């Protein structure tokens, strides 16, 4: 788990406990190294159906609150499908360790759920060869991963550990077993063996589960010590002379592949086992594991082991020879490879695939990996380039982002209430570029949406940009377009040349409207007076002598139908793209090999702020979910007054069209500190940027792209256009160098979209 946590956030949803007393619903029992173990607490007396319903909603609420969207769902039991089959994931693993349906007391729905899980799963891992044979008939992508062993843990048994108190008084020879005591154990065999050799002592550790404890044989030389912690097992094992696996041969043991076999061997103990198929197959030929089928043959095998057990060094050497090559590291890399292969297969099938994964050992192991391009930043600039380079030129691309997600500022997700929200404030897509629209439409369908904004001015909500309705509501009379033009002309100030944001507004609408709509908002937003900002900033918001109350007039205005993040997932789901979120450029810069860097972070940061810091304006977002269906009449309401600390409130349901009994909103508080969101357009900043740009021009192995790296107040579509332009230059260079033919390999889903 902790290995996978380097790649994913791992939430381990443990079996529920029935306990209403502690007042907890979901307990975070353990958190370390990226693994969080969550234990649902249920009220005793609930039906199985109620318990599943509660767990499903606990899981949903947790994922929303923790802002986690699982890449991977990993199932140890098909029963969990009931609480999670609604969760989207790029890859579903069914890790089948046992034929659970054959166990005593297995829920009747187990088989049906396994069937559903097999239909959903992208890949199946089995804990042994028998299971592999059985499952591969049911799924097209099955791998065998027999149990491995934590050698360093269990080999402590060889170092004469201190004997646990409850084992101290038990005479030798001791024959030991640890594990769950249930229907898999051959109780009759134990009793016969104990009777046959009253001078030997059978030590059994483990909880009694599902069977009546009275069924277990009671003899003076059989010692039940109860369940023990994993940590203490080597201390017990170290005190045994021989280890036993007295399993009954029945339906419940047909497919088992006991993990304890290699653990006993790691502890330096020989093993006597009944003829479990996977034990015979995997260890039958080695002389450290003997197969016996009756009390008499067990006794014979134990005697033989006791006779040669005196030579510990020889015993350990034999055990090590059997274990050679068996390690969790090997299992890990085998599983990683299987997942990567599955991702490639999904991608070529047109399925939204798991992103190709970094190799085992994360950054350290990346030393051996070679990429054509390292892309820093998984926002629009980085993701468009990664997609083009991989799909258009067949390049191997590593994308890193220091945030824990893809999509940059456009990242959206479902909040705790299940409402789709934008983590970094409202992002409305609008463009006049057919090319940009066509390109993005390969990765998403769209919802038509025309953005409307109201401004809170003089206690009224009026349209912004200023239009005929705004003037009517503020001045209490109707305006024709001609009257509005005359009205504003009479108020406008003659300013020549128009240079600043103050100039642009004063020269269009005059001081009164400037102060009501622009001055306070701009001072809050930028921490600067409009007279200190380039005219381009306020010029983004026009004034209209018409009743058009749309914020944008672009030809294409829409929102990705399933959200921005989903669109980015599709863009990055290419077998030659590896994405590592939560990873900064500095971490990978020297950890792997690549020919060229595409850098989409702040340019001054790249050059160590050597000429001083470029100012970027930041925001603090306050997100809230309200217990009401609707909060405000439009998607965004602006608050230009300096009396109000925030600039605007966004209500997302207007943008996304989602229907929900609650609603989620975001308040934006501008700030000098925090993540860089806005380059600040003013002449002195531009001069400073140009110094960095000169350095960039002298750094031919790095290409700077995007809003932060080219220090431009770009909208999303402009960044896409910029990235496509950069790609074309790269592609042209490649063609010029007469490299292998340029491959443009659109994914299968591309063809099905407009
Ligand atoms: P980003 O999205 O900022 O992506 C850059 C990425 O690089 C980030 O994820 C960052 O974590 C990563 N990064 C930086 N440095 C490093 C490093 N050293 N190592 C690893 N990763 C690093 N545009 C519109 O068209 N319409 C809108 O309605 C709109 N609304 C907006 C609202 C707000 C509040 C903001 C802030 C922006 C808005 N934009 C809007 C602009 C839009 O967000 C940007 O144009 C677009 O996201 C820029 O994409 P990008 O890839 O250049 O940068
Ligand atoms: N602006 C303003 N009042 C408003 C809306 C915008 O003064 O009600 C100014 C402000 O300086 C803002 C700029 O116009 O930063 C550009 O506004 P836009 O809505 O384009 O900002 P963005 O969406 O990029 O935050």
Instruction: Please state, for a pLDDT cut of 70, what percent of the chain lies above it.
Output: 92
- Spacing, Cα 517 to ligand 2 middle (Å): 10
pLDDT in tens, 375-394: 999 999 999 999 999 999 99
Contacts of 739 by beta carbon, 8 Å cutoff, 6+ apart? none
Asked if residue 380 and residue 366 are part of one domain, the reply reads: yes
Phi, psi of 642, rounded to the nearest 5 degrees: -75, -10
For β-strands 123-126 and 460-464, DSSP reports them as unpaired
CATH number of residue 67's parent domain:
3.40.50.2000
Question: Nearest ligand, CA of residue 580?
Answer: 1
The alpha carbons of the chain give a radius of gyration, in whole angstroms, of 33
Read off the pLDDT of each residue in 55-81 and give the average, rounded to a whole number.
Answer: 86
Residue whose C-alpha is closest to residue 245's, from 267, 232, 260 = 260
Domain membership flag for residue 583: yes
Does the Cβ of 640 fall within 6 Å of ligand 2? yes
Asked if residue 726 and residue 661 are part of one domain, the reply reads: no
Asked if residue 458 and residue 446 are part of one domain, the reply reads: no
d(CA 361, CA 334): 13
Asked if residue 94 and residue 120 are part of one domain, the reply reads: yes
**pLDDT at position 358, please?**
39
Read off the pLDDT of each residue in 577-581 and give the average, rounded to a whole number.
Answer: 88
Asked if residue 706 and residue 633 are part of one domain, the reply reads: no
- Spacing, Cα 573 to ligand 1 middle (Å): 20
**pLDDT at position 9, please?**
63
Domain of residue 685, residue span: 357-406+572-612+680-735
pLDDT in tens, 202-212: 999 999 998 99
The domain boundary residue, chosen from 538, 559, 592: 538
SS3 255: coil
Neighbours of 462 (CB within 10 A): 21
pLDDT in tens, 708-729: 999 999 999 999 999 999 999 9
Q: Which atom of ligand 2 is nearest to the CA of 426?
A: 23
pLDDT higher for 287 or 654?
654
Give rounded-to-5 percent helix, strand, coil for the chain: 40, 20, 40
User: Which residue puts its alpha carbon closest to atom 1 of ligand 2?
Assistant: 518
Asked if residue 70 and residue 7 are part of one domain, the reply reads: yes
Does the Cβ of 405 fall within 6 Å of ligand 1? no
Q: Measured between alpha carbons, how far is residue 55 from residues 16, 25, 43, 82, 223 in Å?
A: 8, 9, 11, 9, 39
Does the Cβ of 664 fall within 6 Å of ligand 2? no
Read off the pLDDT of each residue in 396-416 and give the average, rounded to a whole number.
Answer: 93
Q: Which atom of ligand 2 is nearest to the CA of 505?
A: 7
Domain membership flag for residue 196: yes
d(CA 594, CA 729): 19
**pLDDT at position 737, please?**
56
> Which residues on adjacent β-strands are paired with residue 556?
431
Q: Where are the beta strands (DSSP E) in 402-459?
A: 412-414, 420-422, 429-431, 446-448, 453-457
Q: Which atom of ligand 2 is nearest to the CA of 678?
A: 24
**pLDDT at position 20, please?**
62
Read off the pLDDT of each residue in 231-249 and give the average, rounded to a whole number.
Answer: 96
Q: Which atom of ligand 1 is nearest to the CA of 409?
A: 2
pLDDT at 753 over 60: no
Asked if residue 228 and residue 195 are part of one domain, the reply reads: yes
**pLDDT at position 198, please?**
97
pLDDT in tens, 165-189: 999 999 999 999 999 999 999 999 9
pLDDT at 396 over 90: yes
Q: Measured between alpha carbons, how far is residue 497 from residues 488, 500, 502, 731 in Å?
A: 19, 9, 12, 42
pLDDT band at 433 (very low <50, low <70, confident <90, very high): very high
Asked if residue 40 and residue 79 are part of one domain, the reply reads: yes
Q: Which region among 338-342, 429-433, 532-536 has the lowest average model confidence (pLDDT)?
A: 338-342
SS3 121: coil
Domain membership flag for residue 640: yes
Domain membership flag for residue 113: yes
User: Which residue puts its alpha carbon closest to atom 16 of ligand 1?
Assistant: 601
Asked if residue 507 and residue 400 are part of one domain, the reply reads: no
**pLDDT at position 349, please?**
53
Does the Cβ of 520 fall within 6 Å of ligand 2? no
Q: Please count the helices (runs of H) and the strands (runs of E) in the chain.
A: 30, 31
For the chain, the domain total comes to: 5
d(CA 563, CA 412): 6
Asked if residue 626 and residue 603 are part of one domain, the reply reads: no
Asked if residue 604 and residue 579 are part of one domain, the reply reads: yes
pLDDT at 11 over 80: no
d(CA 51, CA 72): 24
Residue whose C-alpha is closest to residue 59's, from 35, 83, 89, 88 = 83
SS3 591: coil
For β-strands 201-205 and 123-126, DSSP reports them as unpaired
């Amino acid at each position: 788990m902790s290995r996978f946590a380097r790649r994913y956030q791992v939430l381990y949803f443990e079996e529920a406990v029935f306990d209403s007393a502690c007042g907890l619903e979901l307990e975070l029992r353990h958190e370390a190294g990226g693994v969080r173990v969550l234990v649902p607490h249920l009220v005793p007396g609930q039906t199985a159906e109620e318990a599943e319903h509660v767990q499903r909603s606990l899981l949903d609420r947790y994922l929303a609150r923790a802002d986690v969207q699982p890449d991977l769902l990993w199932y140890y039991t098909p029963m969990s499908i009931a609480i999670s089959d609604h969760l989207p994931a790029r890859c579903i693993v069914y890790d089948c360790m046992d034929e659970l349906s054959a166990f005593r007391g297995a829920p009747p729905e187990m088989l049906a759920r396994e069937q559903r899980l097999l239909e959903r799963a992208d890949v199946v891992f089995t804990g042994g060869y028998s299971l592999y044979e059985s499952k591969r008939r049911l799924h097209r992508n099955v791998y065998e991963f027999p149990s491995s062993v934590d050698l360093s843990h269990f080999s402590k048994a060889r170092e004469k550990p201190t004997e646990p108190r409850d084992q101290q008084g038990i005479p030798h020879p001791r024959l030991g077993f640890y594990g769950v005591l249930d229907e898999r154990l051959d109780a009759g065999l134990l009793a016969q063996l104990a009777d046959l050799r009253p001078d030997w002592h059978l030590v059994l550790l483990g909880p009694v589960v599902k069977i009546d404890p009275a069924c277990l044989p009671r003899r003076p030389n059989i010692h039940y010590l109860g369940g023990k912690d994993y940590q203490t097992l080597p201390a017990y094992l170290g005190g045994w002379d021989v280890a036993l696996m007295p399993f009954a041969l029945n339906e419940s043991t047909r497919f088992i592949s006991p993990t304890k076999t290699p653990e006993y061997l790691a502890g330096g103990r020989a093993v006597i086992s009944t003829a479990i198929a996977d034990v015979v197959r995997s260890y039958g030929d080695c002389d450290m594991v003997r197969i016996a089928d009756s009390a008499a043959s067990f006794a014979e095998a134990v005697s033989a082991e006791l006779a040669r057990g005196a030579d510990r060094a020889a015993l350990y050497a034999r055990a090590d020879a059997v274990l050679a090559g068996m390690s969790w590291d090997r299992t890990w890399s085998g599983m990683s490879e299987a997942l990567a292969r599955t991702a490639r297969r999904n991608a070529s099938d047109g399925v939204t695939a798991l992103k190709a994964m970094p190799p085992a050992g994360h950054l350290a192991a990346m030393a051996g990996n070679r990429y054509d391009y390292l892309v820093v930043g998984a926002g629009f600039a980085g993701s468009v380039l990664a997609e083009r380079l991989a799909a258009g030129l067949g390049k191997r691309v590593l994308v890193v982002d220091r945030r824990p997600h893809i999509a940059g500022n456009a990242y959206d997700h479902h909040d705790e209430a299940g409402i789709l929200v934008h983590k970094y404030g409202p992002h409305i897509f609008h463009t006049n570029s057919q090319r940009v629209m066509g390109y993005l439409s390969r990765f998403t369908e769209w919802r038509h949406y025309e953005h409307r904004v109201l401004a809170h001015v003089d206690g009224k909500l009026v349209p912004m940009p200023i239009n005929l309705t705004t003037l009517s509501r503020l001045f209490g009379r109707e305006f024709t377009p001609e009257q509005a033009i005359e009205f504003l002309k009479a108020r406008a100030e003659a300013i020549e040349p128009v240079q600043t944001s103050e100039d642009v507004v004063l020269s269009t609408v005059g001081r009164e409207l400037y102060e009501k709509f622009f001055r306070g908002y701009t001072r809050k937003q930028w921490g600067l007076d409009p007279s200190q900002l380039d005219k381009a900033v306020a010029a983004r918001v026009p004034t209209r002598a018409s009743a058009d109350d749309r914020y944008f007039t672009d030809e294409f205005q829409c929102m990705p139908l399933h959200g921005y993040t989903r669109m980015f997932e599709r863009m990055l789901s290419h077998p030659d793209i590896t994405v590592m979120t939560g990873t900064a450029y500095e971490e990978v810069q020297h950890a792997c090999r690549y020919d060229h860097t595409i850098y989409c972070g702040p340019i001054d940061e790249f050059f160590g702020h050597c000429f001083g810091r470029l100012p970027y304006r930041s925001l603090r977002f306050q997100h809230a979910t309200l217990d009401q269906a609707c909060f405000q009449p439009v998607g965004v309401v602006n608050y230009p007054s300096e009396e109000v600390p925030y600039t605007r409130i966004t209500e997302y349901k207007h943008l996304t069209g989602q229907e929900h009994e609650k609603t989620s909103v975001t308040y934006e508080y501008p700030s000098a500190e925090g993540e860089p969101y806005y380059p600040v357009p003013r002449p002195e900043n531009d001069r400073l940027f140009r110094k960095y740009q000169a350095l960039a021009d002298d750094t031919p192995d790095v290409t700077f792209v995007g809003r932060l790296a080219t220090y431009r107040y770009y909208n999303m579509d402009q960044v896409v256009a910029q990235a496509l332009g950069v790609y074309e230059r790269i592609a042209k260079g490649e063609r010029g160098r007469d490299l292998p033919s340029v491959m443009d390999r659109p994914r299968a889903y591309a063809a099905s979209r407009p």
